[in-house]
Amino acid sequence: MKHFPSNRTITYFSSQNQPAYFAELGEVVEIETNDCYDGQVKTEETHREDFDRSRLNPATGPIYINGMQKGDTLCVEVLDIKTGDYGIMMAAPGLGPLGNSVSNSSTKILPIYEDHVEFNETIKIPLQPMIGVAGVAPEEGEVSTALPGTHGGNLDTKDIKAGNKLYLPVFTEGALAAFGDLHAAMGDGELSGTGIETSGVIKVRFTKVPFIIENPVVEDEKFFYFIASADTYEQAIHTALLQTTNQLASWLDFSFEDSYRVLSAVCDLKFSQIVNELVTVRVAVPKSLLPESVYSEQRY
């Protein structure tokens, strides 16, 4: 199995980046990732003011995937996520929605064990590893790995985890995918501004799927999640709802109005993250509602 080390990273997604690694469709590869601080925080004495912010959110890659073209949809099947042996959680004035109530910067380094993160002697947090940054080169320009968007990127969506599939629209030959910012655990919203930030190794398989999407979509056993990011909640929610309603209308062969009714009756709106420069939301659509053909294992 190919192993892509974490010494080749980007902090901007761009179609102009030179590929660092190459993969084939259907191939399983292992990707090593640095934590979102690029390994600069090793002790609790290092606070948010103390490191080089230009190195934040390094994503390992870009990975050129043979056979992917502009206009295709890439499926990233997340097979496994192994975290590092410690996680980092920072608090700092101004960080997160309650940042104004935080008086001093502080850092916690939390040991990660096989199935939990030890917050202290009494609080053990179940290990729920997820990928914070997963993206491809965007349609235009350079996009910081700190930002989410139609190309994926800093989606901070807790369903991007082992066993699930992430679908991304491809804007350039080879897709130029990159991954980083693992979290050992994170609740919806990423409410204090960080997950339990960690390094690690992910195992993924890349395939091409025969449907077109405009924004990232995640699939797990029971749901499709339609993801949208924007600079306001209203715009992110509008985009996610509109995309879901249109997709439902197409899948179910419904009018927009009937699809809109079904959306309201069975779908949940969830916050992925509310702490990045753009916010990310998702709409969960139960697969039980859909005809089998929608989620059959067709791959090519």
Exactly one of 20, 29, 31, 36 binds Ca ion (CB under 5 A); that residue is 36
In 3-state terms, what secondary structure has residue 62?
strand
Strands across the sheet containing 268-273: 2-4, 28-33, 200-209, 73-83, 165-169, 217-219, 223-230, 279-286, 268-273
Identity of the residue, 195 or 200, whose beta carbon is nearer to Ca ion in the bound complex:
195
Q: Considering the rule CB under 5 A, would residue 153 count as an interface residue with Ca ion? A: no
Shortest approach of Ca ion to residue 62 CB, angstroms? 18
Greatest CA separation for the chain:
58
> What residue type is assigned to position 2 of the chain?
K
Q: Considering the rule CB under 5 A, would residue 83 count as an interface residue with Ca ion? A: no
Q: Virtual CA dihedral for 3, 194, 77, 204, nearest 10 degrees?
A: 10
Q: Considering the rule CB under 5 A, would residue 219 count as an interface residue with Ca ion? A: no
Q: Considering the rule CB under 5 A, would residue 189 count as an interface residue with Ca ion? A: no
Candidate ranges 16-24, 26-34, 100-108, 126-134; the one touching Ca ion (CB under 5 A): 126-134
Q: Considering the rule CB under 5 A, would residue 38 count as an interface residue with Ca ion? A: no
CB neighbour class for 118 (10 Å; exposed up to 12, middle 13-18, buried from 19): middle
Q: Considering the rule CB under 5 A, would residue 35 count as an interface residue with Ca ion? A: no
Query: Strands (DSSP E) along 141-222, which ranges?
Result: 143-144, 148-149, 152-154, 165-169, 177-183, 197-198, 200-209, 217-219
Shortest approach of Ca ion to residue 64 CB, angstroms? 24
Q: Considering the rule CB under 5 A, would residue 181 count as an interface residue with Ca ion? A: yes
Identity of the residue, 132 or 138, whose beta carbon is nearer to Ca ion in the bound complex:
132
> What residue type is assigned to position 244 of the chain?
T
Exactly one of 15, 33, 83, 154 binds Ca ion (CB under 5 A); that residue is 154
Exactly one of 58, 62, 96, 132 binds Ca ion (CB under 5 A); that residue is 132
| Contact footprint for Ca ion (CB under 5 A) | 36, 132, 154, 156, 181, 195, 197
